[in-house]
């Protein structure tokens, strides 16, 4: 187990390094003068003097070779210092810290909601004995995956806010304002959980040990919840680990639709004005969330399925 954890931690470091490096190179390859774009954003003006451009070019290291800038920037990032925002002049870490609670609140509600909705749909689809109803329920995840998050959010606002006036249209309006953003963010994740869990349950329910439990007189609920669900949940758990990181990316759309001040709004604003330090900070933070959650999912696998044995650099079933 210790060797496996160390190996996964090394992989996590590699993913973070790759995310930072690719972001650095892609932002550098964008067309146009990044210094002029950042200067215009920071001064809220389209007229920037050549002296100001030269000053910013020296301040952010654009007067040095690419490899020198990369090595210096990476060294600062390893200490948690992503520099200052050009648009606001504030440290990137402070900007992320201010926006993080709102995004954590949203994703902290959306993820459990996605698990409940997806798990309930999968159990309902695999429990019914009526063929047409089962086929209908099993087809819902494919339909739900095809719906864009921004469209779902706009439809919920139009129906539940403007027409029925059940919830506020803005996401920062207290607990009630969190409902529509959380539902919008959870639906794409819920249908994917439902799709994976339902297929896994259908496969597990055909296993010999499940048939044996039925032959011994176990009821339908006991067969599903006690014998089948635990082993069938492992593929869904792996998907949940990926979705938890994806929720942070989807929050960019949802927070803009519902006017929430979180990492999504920070990312949109930074990309719009080409605020390179903020964009790099957001990308690295998203990669960090992704690798940590996937590491936790990998370690939780043997707890759900005793057949999984971790040895060396791999886990075996």
Residues 204 and 110 in one domain: yes
For residues 258-265, give the mean pLDDT. 84
Residue indicated by tokens 């007229």: 47
What's the domain count of the chain? 2
Residues 72 and 103 in one domain: no
pLDDT digits (tens, 9 = 90+) for 132-161: 877 777 777 777 777 787 788 888 888 888
Residue indicated by tokens 């949203």: 106
Residues 61 and 137 in one domain: no
Res 280: pLDDT? 85
Greatest mean pLDDT range, 63-72, 141-150, 235-244: 63-72
CB atoms within 10 A of CB 164: 9
Q: How high is the mean pLDDT of the chain?
A: 78
**What is the rounded distance in angstroms from the CA atom of residue 76 to the CA atom of residue 61?**
13
Res 312: pLDDT? 46
Is 23 part of any domain?
no
Give the number of residues written for the chain: 317
Distances (CA, A) of 306 to 8, 203, 230, 301, 317: 20, 18, 10, 8, 8
Is 300 part of any domain?
yes
Residues 38 and 144 in one domain: no
Greatest mean pLDDT range, 79-88, 101-110, 306-315: 101-110
Is 21 part of any domain?
no
**What is the rounded distance in angstroms from the CA atom of residue 268 to the CA atom of residue 53?**
24
Res 254: pLDDT? 86
Residues 69 and 158 in one domain: no
Burial class (CB in 10 A: 0-12, 13-18, 19+), 85: buried
For residue 65, what are the domain limits? 31-81
CA dihedral 300, 14, 244, 121 (to 10 degrees): -60
Residues 114 and 71 in one domain: no
**What is the rounded distance in angstroms from the CA atom of residue 45 to the CA atom of residue 39?**
8
Which range has the worst mean pLDDT, 4-18, 120-134, 210-224, 278-292?
A: 210-224
pTM (2 decimals)? Answer: 0.73
Is 268 part of any domain?
yes
pLDDT band, residue 44 (cuts 50/70/90): very low
Q: Answer yes or no: is pLDDT of 100 > 80.
A: yes
CATH number for the domain harbouring residue 152 = 1.10.3720.10
Res 240: pLDDT? 72
Domain closes at, from 81, 113, 141: 81
């Amino acid at each position: 187990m210790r060797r496996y954890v160390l190996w996964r931690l090394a992989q996590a470091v590699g993913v973070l390094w790759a995310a930072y490096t690719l972001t650095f190179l892609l932002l550098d390859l964008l067309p146009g003068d990044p210094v002029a774009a950042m200067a215009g954003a920071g001064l809220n003006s389209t007229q920037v003097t050549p002296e100001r451009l030269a000053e910013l070019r020296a301040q952010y290291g654009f007067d040095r070779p690419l490899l020198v800038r990369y090595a210096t920037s990476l060294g600062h990032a390893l200490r948690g210092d992503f520099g200052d925002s050009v648009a606001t002049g504030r440290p990137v870490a402070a900007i992320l810290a201010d926006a993080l609670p709102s995004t954590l609140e949203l994703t902290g509600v959306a993820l459990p909601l996605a698990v409940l909705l997806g798990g309930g749909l999968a159990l309902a689809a695999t429990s019914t004995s009526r063929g047409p109803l089962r086929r209908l329920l099993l087809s819902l995840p494919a339909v739900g995956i095809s719906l864009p998050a921004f469209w779902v959010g706009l439809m919920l606002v139009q129906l539940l806010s403007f027409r029925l006036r059940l919830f506020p249209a803005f996401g920062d309006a207290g607990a009630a304002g969190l409902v529509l953003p959380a539902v919008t963010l959870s639906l794409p994740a819920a249908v994917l959980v439902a799709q994976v869990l339902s297929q896994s349950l259908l496969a597990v329910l055909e296993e010999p040990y499940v048939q044996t439990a039925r032959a011994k007189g176990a009821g339908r609920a006991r067969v599903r919840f006690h014998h089948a669900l635990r082993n069938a949940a492992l593929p869904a758990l792996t998907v949940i680990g990926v979705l938890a990181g994806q929720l942070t990316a989807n929050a960019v759309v949802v927070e803009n639709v519902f006017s929430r001040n979180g990492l999504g709004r920070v990312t949109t604003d930074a990309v719009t004005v080409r605020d390179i330090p903020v964009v790099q900070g957001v990308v690295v933070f998203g990669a960090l969330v992704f690798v940590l959650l996937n590491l936790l999912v990998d370690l939780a696998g043997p707890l759900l399925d005793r057949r999984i044995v971790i040895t060396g650099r791999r886990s075996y079933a």
